[in-house]
Amino acid sequence: MKPYVWSGIDAADAPSRGISPGSEDTYNPSNSTTQVFDIAFLKIDSDKALEVAQKHGGDKITEKSPDTPILYVLDWSRASNELIWHVIYGSSFDQAKLRVAVNASKGDFIRVEK
């Protein structure tokens, strides 16, 4: 398996702008941090996920602090059997001002995570 990161900003602590391949690694299906999903589940892109997140608190953050970085994490939820966009307002998942989960197949709001 080989992870890829896409970055759209030129910040000092951000990955290089564009698509950057990660290191190749051996796939292990018992590794809970590495979940494979069928790409056909991905029907909603990050721009739609942002629209949904903005309606659930993100607009207040970007209005108050327009320079807040917005990160996106796409992952498979084994528990709910769905692909989820996590729209993260802040410089990291753990130090986010707000995290909003959006269904990546339907574009539906799932929950505010913080």
- Give the pLDDT confidence of 12-60 residue by residue, as tens digits: 777 778 888 888 888 777 777 677 788 899 999 999 999 999 999 999 9
58 and 28 co-located in one domain: no
Is residue 104 over pLDDT 80?
A: yes
Question: What is the mean predicted confidence (pLDDT) over 98-108?
Answer: 97
30 & 42 share domain: no
- Examine the domain organization and report whether 26 and 4 are in the same domain: yes
pLDDT digits (tens, 9 = 90+) for 71-96: 999 998 888 999 999 999 998 888 89
Task: Residue count of the chain, please give it.
Answer: 114
Which range of residues forms the domain containing residue 97?
36-112
Statement to judge: residues 101 and 45 lie in one domain: yes
Tokens 């996590």 found at: 86
What distance in Å separates the CA atoms of residue 49 and residue 20, rounded to the nearest whole number?
Answer: 22
Q: Residue 8: is it exposed, middle or buried by C-beta count within 10 angstroms (0-12/13-18/19+)? A: exposed
Q: Is the domain of 48 the same as that of 84? A: yes
The tally of domains found in the chain comes to 2
